[in-house]
Amino acid sequence: MKLIQSLFLSLFTMTIMAQNVMTPEKLIQLKKVSAKGISKDGKFVIYQTSQYNIKKHKTKKKLFKIAIDGGEPIEIKKAKQFLDNPKIKNGLKLFSKAVQLENIKGSDIHKDAPKSNVKIYNELNYRHWDTWNEGKFNHVFYAPVGKKKEKTDIMKGEMFDCPQKPFGGAEDYVWDNDGTKILYVSKKLKGTKYAISTNSDIYEYDLKSKTTKNLTPYNKGYDTHPAFSEQGELAFLQMKRDGYESDKNDIIVVKNGKHINLTANWDGTVNSFKWSKDGKQIYFVAPIGGTVHLFVIKASENQQPKQITSGQFDIRGIVGEVNNKMVVSRTDMNHASELFVVDLSNGKMTQLTHANDKVYNSVILGKVEKRMVKTTDGKDMVCWVTYP
What is the separation, in whole angstroms, between the first and last Cα of the chain? 32
User: Which residues are paired to 132 by β-bridges?
Assistant: 127
The pLDDT of residue 92 is above 60: yes
Distance CA 386, CA 367 (A): 6
pLDDT digits (tens, 9 = 90+) for 24-53: 888 998 999 999 999 999 999 999 999 999
Which whole number is the average pLDDT over 154-176?
A: 96
Q: Read off φ and ψ for residue 191, nearest 5 degrees.
A: 60, -135
The pLDDT of residue 267 is above 60: yes
Query: Residue 98's closest CA among 54, 159, 12?
Result: 159
Q: How confident is the model at residue 102 (pLDDT cuts 50, 70, 90)?
A: confident
Looking at per-residue pLDDT, the higher value among 20 and 70 belongs to: 70
Distance CA 109, CA 380 (A): 57
The pLDDT of residue 314 is above 50: yes
Distance CA 96, CA 142 (A): 9
Task: Answer for the pair 255, 261: CB distance below 8 angstroms, yes or no.
Answer: no
pLDDT at 106: 66
The pLDDT of residue 14 is above 60: no
Task: Answer for the pair 293, 309: CB distance below 8 angstroms, yes or no.
Answer: yes
Distance CA 66, CA 344 (A): 20
Other CB atoms within 10 Å distance of the CB of residue 42: 12
Note the pTM of the prediction, 2 decimals.
0.90
Which whole number is the average pLDDT over 56-84?
A: 96
The pLDDT of residue 299 is above 70: yes
Task: Answer for the pair 360, 335: CB distance below 8 angstroms, yes or no.
Answer: yes
pLDDT at 12: 47
Task: Answer for the pair 239, 221: CB distance below 8 angstroms, yes or no.
Answer: yes
Distance CA 346, CA 307 (A): 10
pLDDT at 282: 98
Residue type, 154: I
Task: Answer for the pair 223, 202: CB distance below 8 angstroms, yes or no.
Answer: yes
